[in-house]
Structure 1
Amino acid sequence: MEFTLNITIGSVVIGFVVGMLTGVFGVGGGFLMTPALMIILNIPGPMAVGTDLATILATSSFGMFRRRGSNTVDVKLAIVISIGSILGVLTGSHFLELLKYAPKLIIFGKEQEAVPYYLLCMFLFLLTWIAGFMTFDYLRNGQRVLDKRVGIFARLKIPPYLDFTSLEQQHLPIVMLLFLGFFVGVLTGFMGIGGGVLLLPSLIYLVGQRTNKAIGTSLLLVWISSLIAVIRKSEAGDINLLLLAFLLAGGLTGTFIGTKIGLKLADPKIRLYFVYVVIVGVLMVGYELYVITF
């Protein structure tokens, strides 16, 4: 792969933006980085996924270091969810490897590579759903900070249970946490996202964490799932070290600045800004799908 000036500058800028997202929201930013690498820089799908995950691993490591002592990470909760996510990462990575050998698609008379097209379609569906759900919640609750946040999982009577001190309703069924981890892990392995874009709303609405604690816990979960995924992607040869270096040049700077901002924002503001970021992802992916399809 030849590195032009556009790819060099573009990868540094993309890395910076994704690093900011990691610091502010506790998400890896893969939901923007993978499609951005494919759409803007024309990086092949598997390489975009693998190098993206390696970048997420580095920026989330730095983000956790910056959050040390902030009391925003529930390690016990992260470990339980990550048990399911490890199996999910391996499953998702296996599916992506199988797709490498899939025949080309014919969509409206135009030939499409299977991996990039499937990835873009899944990104569009996932991001649209998340943006819609969180917009509805913000319009319903506005700037109001809930007196008590109780997640959906806390209302389910499915033993066995575990207690978590970061929650106001501490009693949660283990099986639901494992299922959440598995689902996010599949997305990590298949789509090249750290899972934070799904984990952040899941920890808030399903698990019942306050936003600031959900950000810290999400960051640890992103780190764990990314670590497993990077090992798999390196074995498959899907990580470009030079591209990774350029992404990290911007990514670590962005994470440093983003963490400072994220620790100062109030819960409702963080959720609102997160919706804006996801909508940008929807527009970017939707436009690219429209162009290549029609």
Structure 2
Amino acid sequence: MEWIVLAILGLIAAILGSIMGLGGGIIIVPALMILSEYSPILGGITPQIAVGTSLLVMIFTGLSSTLAYIKQKKVDIQSGWIFFIGSGPGALFGVWLNKDMNVDVFLVAFGVFIVIISFILMIRNRIPPLKRRPKGIERSHTNELGETIQYGYQPIVAVTIAFFVGMFSGLFGIGGGSLMVPAMVLLFAFPPHLAVATSMFLVFLSATVSSISHVSIGNVDWYYALALIPGAWLGGQLGAAINRRLTSNAVVFMLRVFLIIIGIRLIYQGVSTL
């Protein structure tokens, strides 16, 4: 039964993560922490194991989604590598921060973080992209309607933001897209679909670096990972297909409501045991 629950969790997290460019870890980590209270098999999950296992699973979510988005010609690979200059070291720093964090502090911090992310998702479509950007890298993208959209960024600013995105990825086991996608859309004027696809490429790169570190220090439960990975791979493909055909407004609404509920639940769980 637990295997089925984990497989479904991996599938749902990957679908939502791929649609929104979030990676799915923001769903997997709190779900594992909450399930550990009710399942004898899933019991005993520490924050470090939840984070490490989530990051390993996100390698497959990120790769699956990236391959699908590359076929759709929506991934800005050059920008993804530039962002990785910051997110790679940031991910390693986040792993280092995570190693000594106790359960109660982790639950409260992660709960607050999730609520903040839900707020960002709530307002991101209401804030217009910056009209003027510092001189730096200028890019263009032609969408399916034949419209050419200009976007760009100052590399130093982009790498700095990506460092903190990577740090949160390594610390909390999330893909970082929940921060990077709004930054790309609002600060760098990326077209939303291009931002999501490029974010999944960055999720793949950052998760690979972070998970290698977590594996080396024993923070991965391979039983959980093997149960989550098949759903994560399939969900990455399905999420990219859904993203291509549908607007994500309804999904964003459901996701942010879900994140608020999960965030409050984690905060309560952490505070009640302090």
TM-score, normalising length from structure 1?
0.81
How many percent of aligned residue pairs carry the same amino acid? 24
Aligned match for 1:263, one of 227, 244, 264: 244
Aligned match for 2:107, one of 111, 120, 129: 120
| Residue 119 of structure 1: how far off its partner (Å) | 2.6
Moved over 4 A (4+): none
Q: Which residue of 1 aligns with 2:206?
A: 225
Q: Which residue of 2 aligns with 1:173?
A: 154
- AA partner of residue 105 (structure 2): Y
The 3-state SS of whatever aligns with 1:165 is: strand
The 3-state SS of whatever aligns with 2:201 is: helix
| Residue 195 of structure 1: how far off its partner (Å) | 0.7
Aligned match for 1:19, one of 3, 14, 17: 14
Bigger drift between 119-128 and 61-70 goes to 119-128
- AA partner of residue 222 (structure 2): L
Matched, 1:79 2:54: no
CA contact (8 A) 1:196 1:219 kept: yes
Matched, 1:35 2:12: no
1:18, 1:134 → 2: CA distance? 16
Q: Which residue of 2 aligns with 1:136?
A: 123
Q: Which has the larger radius of gyration?
A: 1
Aligned match for 1:286, one of 234, 247, 264: 264
CA contact (8 A) 1:84 1:182 kept: yes
Bigger drift between 253-262 and 178-187 goes to 253-262
The 3-state SS of whatever aligns with 2:219 is: coil
**Do the aligned partners of residues 171 and 250 (structure 1) sit closer, same or farther apart at CA in structure 2, a change above 3 Å counting?**
closer
TM-score, normalising length from structure 2?
0.86
| Residue 235 of structure 1: how far off its partner (Å) | 0.7
| Residue 86 of structure 1: how far off its partner (Å) | 0.9
CA contact (8 A) 1:72 1:213 kept: yes
Q: Which residue of 2 aligns with 1:92?
A: 94
1:203, 1:172 → 2: CA distance? 9
**Do the aligned partners of residues 194 and 134 (structure 1) sit closer, same or farther apart at CA in structure 2, a change above 3 Å counting?**
closer
Bigger drift between 278-287 and 213-222 goes to 278-287
Q: Which residue of 2 aligns with 1:250?
A: 231
CA contact (8 A) 2:111 2:265 kept: no
| Residue 291 of structure 1: how far off its partner (Å) | 4.0
Q: Which residue of 2 aligns with 1:63?
A: 65
The 3-state SS of whatever aligns with 1:237 is: coil
Report the aligned-residue RMSD: 2.1
CA contact (8 A) 2:111 2:262 kept: no
Q: How many residues align?
A: 259
CA contact (8 A) 2:137 2:154 kept: yes
Give CA deviations for 1:61-95 in whole Å, capped at 9, x if unaligned.
11112223212111111111110111111111111
CA contact (8 A) 1:85 1:178 kept: yes
1:121, 1:257 → 2: CA distance? 32
CA contact (8 A) 1:55 1:244 kept: yes
Structure 1: state its 5+ residue gaps: 100-113, 142-148
CA contact (8 A) 1:127 1:278 kept: no
**Do the aligned partners of residues 285 and 129 (structure 1) sit closer, same or farther apart at CA in structure 2, a change above 3 Å counting?**
closer
- AA partner of residue 39 (structure 1): I
2:5, 2:104 → 1: CA distance? 22
2:15, 2:124 → 1: CA distance? 24
2:82, 2:60 → 1: CA distance? 22
